[in-house]
Every structure is written in structure tokens, then in C-alpha cells.
């Protein structure tokens, strides 16, 4: 695949917007996957190639949150175990099976997330001082993280919403720390899924790396915004992104 200047600009701008959205909320892959397919990549190749950008923006996002003391380091290992196991299963499914039911699953997940934010905001944005739970003791959250890993390994688009539901809704993290752990989870299962896609020769590196330039920049700037924003602002930005993700899912 040969990229011209228009294609490079499209990927960089799309990556920047998606990296910003993914860092604070989720759904950025609803933009990057269509952008890759517009440039001629088949859906399965676009799905695999998109993981290069997700991986590198995850590195930038996790480092940024950690630098601002927003990453709960002791919680990383117990949280990453179910997401990485799920990510491996999902990536193998994406490499071997046709993507038949992804769109209904994606839209259903995002609509449920939007309704939770609107009707039961304390579920997804717990009040200050709420005790944080561990996935070792909260089995529902453990399975939520596993499901997020399977889904993220399979398609990625919209997985941030599932992760936030498990981390903020299940484990009762505030949205800032939930976003930090969400980035760590996405980074972890993206490593696993990218290895699978490389083995199956489904990754196109040039468009993936060009897309990553924009997404890394977006993630870097979005961390600075996230650590200064109020929990209420993050909550309503998340709600807005769920609506945009629903629209993008129907449109594309």
C-alpha cells in the first residue's frame, strides 16, 4: 500500500482525534477503522493495522497518567490478568472467524453505556470517597474485564466503554483513575492481539505507524486535559462520546 500526502494527512488527523477520545472516553476506533478502509484496506487488515496505533497511544497515555500520579500501580496485575486472557481469545477469534455480529454488539454496548450515564450516573461515576474494590473479590468485575478483553482483542472499537463500566461501575474507581487503568488494560491486551495479528500476517506497518503519530500526540495532550478536568466534566464528555460512537456505528 502506497500512501500519498492526502492519505498521510487523513491518518494523522484521524489518529489525533481518536487518540484524544480514547484517552478520556472511548470509541476512537470508530474513526480510525473507516479511515483505514477508505484508503483501501480490507476490514480484517484494517482491524489488525489499527492495533499499532492503539499500542503506541496506550504507551503514551499510561506514562502520562502515571506521571501525574493517577495510575493505581498495585491494582495493575490483578486487573490485567483477565483482560489479557480475554484479549488473546478475542484476537484469535478475529484472525480466524468472519466479523458477523460486531456491529450489533458494538452499538448495544455503547447504547447501554449512554443510558447508564444518563439515568444512573453514580454507577459509572461513583461519588468521591467511595471504597475501591478488587477484581479478586468482585467476580462480576473480573468477568467484565475478561469480556472487555475478548471484545477488545476481537475488534477494539468501543472497548473503552466496556472497560470503564468494569473499572468505574464494577470496581468503583473515579473516572480519572478508571481512565488511567483503562489505558493500561487496552495496552496489555493490544500487545497480545497485535502479536496474534502479526503471526497471521494481517498488519500493514506503514499506515499503522502514520496513524500512530497522530494518536500518540492526541493521547499526550488528552492526559493533560483529563488530570485537570472535574469528574463531572469527564462524565459528560464520556456521555457525548457515546452518542457520537452510536452515530458512527450506524453510519459506518
Instruction: Provide the 3-class DSSP secondary structure of residue 178.
Output: helix
Q: Which residues contact 169 (CB under 8 A, 6 or more apart)?
A: 116, 123, 124
Checking if the pLDDT of 122 tops 70, the result is no
What is the CA angle 175-179-185, rounded to 5? 140
Q: Note whether 107 and 246 are within 8 A (CB).
A: yes
Residues of the chain with pLDDT > 70, as a percent, come to 81
* pLDDT digits 0-9 by tens, 136-173: 777 888 888 898 888 888 877 778 888 888 888 788 88
* pLDDT digits 0-9 by tens, 87-109: 899 888 877 766 555 556 656 66
The pLDDT of residue 224 is 92
The reported pTM is 0.82
C-alpha span between 248 and 27 (Å, rounded): 9
The pLDDT of residue 104 is 65
C-alpha span between 252 and 128 (Å, rounded): 38
Q: Note whether 21 and 239 are within 8 A (CB).
A: no
Amino acid at each position: 500500500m502506497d500512501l500519498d500526502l492526502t492519505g498521510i494527512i487523513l491518518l494523522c488527523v484521524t489518529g489525533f482525534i481518536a487518540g484524544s477520545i480514547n484517552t478520556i472516553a472511548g470509541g476512537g476506533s470508530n474513526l480510525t477503522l473507516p479511515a483505514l478502509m477508505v484508503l483501501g484496506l480490507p476490514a480484517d487488515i484494517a482491524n489488525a493495522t489499527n492495533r499499532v496505533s492503539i499500542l503506541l497511544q496506550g504507551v503514551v497515555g499510561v506514562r502520562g497518567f502515571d506521571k501525574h500520579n493517577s495510575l493505581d500501580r498495585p491494582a495493575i496485575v490483578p486487573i490485567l490478568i483477565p483482560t489479557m486472557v480475554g484479549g488473546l481469545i478475542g484476537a484469535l477469534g478475529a484472525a480466524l472467524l468472519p466479523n458477523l455480529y460486531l456491529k450489533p454488539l458494538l452499538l448495544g454496548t455503547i447504547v447501554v453505556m449512554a443510558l447508564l450515564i444518563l439515568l444512573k450516573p453514580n454507577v459509572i461515576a461513583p461519588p468521591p470517597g467511595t471504597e475501591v474494590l478488587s477484581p479478586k473479590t468482585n467476580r462480576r468485575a473480573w468477568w467484565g474485564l475478561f469480556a472487555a478483553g475478548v471484545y477488545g482483542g476481537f475488534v477494539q472499537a468501543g472497548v473503552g466503554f466496556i472497560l470503564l463500566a468494569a473499572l468505574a461501575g464494577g470496581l468503583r474507581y473515579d473516572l480519572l483513575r478508571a481512565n488511567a487503568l483503562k489505558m493500561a488494560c487496552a495496552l496489555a491486551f493490544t500487545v497480545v492481539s497485535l502479536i496474534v495479528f502479526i503471526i497471521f500476517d494481517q498488519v500493514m506497518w506503514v499506515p499503522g505507524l502514520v496513524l500512530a503519530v497522530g494518536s500518540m500526540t492526541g493521547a499526550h495532550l488528552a492526559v493533560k486535559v483529563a488530570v485537570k478536568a472535574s469528574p463531572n466534566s469527564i462524565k459528560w464528555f464520556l456521555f457525548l462520546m457515546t452518542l457520537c460512537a452510536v452515530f458512527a456505528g450506524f453510519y459506518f
